[in-house]
Amino acid sequence: MFVDSETIRFLWPELILVLCAAWIYLGGTFRGSRRWWVAFALAAYLLALGVILGLEGPATTSGDRGGLASGPILVDQLGMICRCFAILVGILLTLLMSKSTRHDLGSEYQGTLMLLVVGLMLVARANDLVLLFVSLELISVPTYVLLFLGRRDRGTSEATLKYFLLSILSSAMLLYGMSFLYGLTGTTSLRGIQAAVSTQPSVAALSFASLGISPDALIYLSLVFLVAGLGFRLAAVPFHFYAPDVFQGVTHANAALLSVVPKVAGLLAFTRLVILGFPQAASQAWEILLVLSILTMTLGNVCALWQQNLRRLLAYSSIAHAGYILIGITVALADSQRAGDSQGGVAAALVYVVVYAVAALGSFAVLAYLGSEQNEVHGVDELAGLARTRPFAATALSICMFSLAGLPPLAGFWGKLVLFLGAVQTSSGGLTVQVMQWFMILAIAGAINAAIGAAYYLRVIATMFFRAPAKTLDAEGGDGAAVVMLVCASLVVAIGLFPGIALNLARKAEASLRAPVSLAAQDPDRSQPRPVEHAWHAPEPPRTNL
């Protein structure tokens, strides 16, 4: 874990955003205008996006697809694609929050949101336990502040407290699990852990054995804690309890944030840490996650059936979608047991989380748009007859909900299709009869759940189209929310019509995940990165420099 100037060069996009966030915090005390700071934040995101594409486009696409390891970060396709997506999420949330905040808190809101986006970008490229943990916290801490700033009433203060306590407990469990990984392997580099765990018996394992502690037991212990810590971020059963209450208590914009950002971060951390870090424990890991996946999607979908509060309904929908994402992770874990072709579990999960994020952001944007600062939209019944009173909002919400339900030809359909196909392929090419049976059950459970899920989305859509309007909603959410609504609905349709582009990007990202990395830093000849098989054997500078 040594940082040199090369690493700093790769971190420019994040540094730009951090500096801009600091500037927003400082400048906000002198200039209060909310509109001005929204424009400033948007410009900062676009600048960072430009730097990413300009700086790393060549670095990640040239030569082999493996990417470079530089200090605690990994420069590869997966990181690059996910960081572009993080900036897109940042832009959409900035627009969505542009009017839903109190006027005098506009700058604090935008600065905090920007730090959160930086956290998400760093999770996407972390190659080190320390950086991974710190960047996950860089997402969590601003989230607490944003939830707290959203509104100051009883419900919000309760939701914030609940989210904070459970989130910090999950972080602590993650940290505890990481401590065992560090102890077993003696390194904090994720690639190093991957290699050290697969070359048994390591020196550490022997020294544990001499203490009477079985190294295998420690691996499983670590696995359970990591799954618990990351499962909270995905909102997977049994760590989902917070979601309905918290979503109900916070504003629509914050609920959108909670349904998207922790999920993406959780999936990325799962990918880098669990799927790659546990080659031997993979057989136990996929069994745990398969059961969690079935439980999560069933519980989420069944509980959503009788919800009357829209944010509660979308919270259970968010839990159900966590279950679908876990299908992809399970398939990827089962794949990692054998050397052959990958069934694309990670790629499917990545596509799915993007598709879900866009549709969920769109749904919450419509709800935010329909309300006003005094009167938020709460119940499903309030949407009655929306197709007649607010046809555009109703259309956008229907598109997003149809996609969440997984109806063709929208994006959600392709997301579910690749996930279920992965499970079916694993079941047909499985190692043993048992594996085949389990994955067949998983695929069937997914299909049944897709049918259950369609019921409650269609209920909302039917309320909008087939019931007489009770009252006209304010629709004072502002232009920002309207733009987000339009962008998300068009993205859902676009991905639905051209799924190949998204799938190819995700496959490239997955390929880069397993490819060997080369070292960028400490190499005299920068133009030809020296292929080093084990990146953690980097010639380290003398420890006294630390």
Q: How far apart are CA 101 and CA 3, in angstroms?
A: 38
Residue whose CB is less far from other proteins, 509 or 538: 538
> What torsion, rounded to 10 degrees, do the Cα atoms 320, 322, 323, 326 define?
170
475 binds other proteins (CB under 8 A): no
Candidates 32, 186, 429, 469; binder of other proteins (CB under 8 A) is 186
DSSP-derived letter for residue 272 is I
Report the alpha-carbon angle 190-219-441, nearest 5: 95
Q: How many helices (H) and strands (E) does the chain have?
A: 22, 3
Contact between 234 and 325 under an 8 Å Cβ cutoff? The reply is: yes
Candidates 12, 23, 25, 182; binder of other proteins (CB under 8 A) is 182
Contact between 360 and 492 under an 8 Å Cβ cutoff? The reply is: no
Q: Which residue type occupies 200?
A: Q
Q: How far apart are CA 383 and CA 496, in angstroms?
A: 26
Taking residues 70 to 109 in sequence order and writing x for each that binds other proteins by CB under 8 A, - otherwise, the string is ----------------------------------------
Candidates 39, 175, 295, 452; binder of other proteins (CB under 8 A) is 175
Q: How far apart are CA 86 and CA 16, in angstroms?
A: 15
Nearest approach, Cβ of 195 to other proteins (angstroms)? 16
Size of the residue set binding other proteins (CB under 8 A): 56
Candidates 109, 148, 270, 536; binder of other proteins (CB under 8 A) is 148
Of 59-67, 137-145, 233-241, 282-290, the segment contacting other proteins by CB under 8 A is 137-145
379 binds other proteins (CB under 8 A): no
Contact between 516 and 533 under an 8 Å Cβ cutoff? The reply is: yes
Helix (H) or strand (E) segment spanning residue 86 = helix 77-96
Nearest approach, Cβ of 517 to other proteins (angstroms)? 19
Contact between 141 and 33 under an 8 Å Cβ cutoff? The reply is: no
Q: How far apart are CA 545 and CA 71, in angstroms?
A: 14
Candidates 35, 152, 530, 537; binder of other proteins (CB under 8 A) is 152
Residues 107-136 binding other proteins (CB under 8 A) are: 129-130, 133-134
Q: How far apart are CA 253 and CA 246, in angstroms?
A: 13
Taking residues 283 to 312 in sequence order and writing x for each that binds other proteins by CB under 8 A, - otherwise, the string is ------------------------xxx--x
Residue whose CB is less far from other proteins, 227 or 489: 227
DSSP-derived letter for residue 516 is P
Residue whose CB is less far from other proteins, 468 or 546: 546
Residues 238-267 binding other proteins (CB under 8 A) are: 244-246, 248-249
Nearest approach, Cβ of 129 to other proteins (angstroms)? 7
Nearest approach, Cβ of 268 to other proteins (angstroms)? 19
168 binds other proteins (CB under 8 A): yes
Q: What is the DSSP string of 373-442?
A: SS----BSGGGTTHHHH-HHHHHHHHHHHHHHHT-TTSHHHHHHHHHHHHHHHHHHS-SSHHHHHHHHHH
Residue whose CB is less far from other proteins, 388 or 459: 459
Beta bridge partners of 73: 70, 126
Residue whose CB is less far from other proteins, 479 or 540: 540
The contact set with other proteins (CB under 8 A) reads: 1, 129-130, 133-134, 137, 141, 144-145, 148, 152-155, 157-162, 164-165, 168-169, 171-173, 175-176, 178-180, 182-183, 186-188, 203-204, 207-208, 211-213, 244-246, 248-249, 307-309, 312, 540, 543, 546
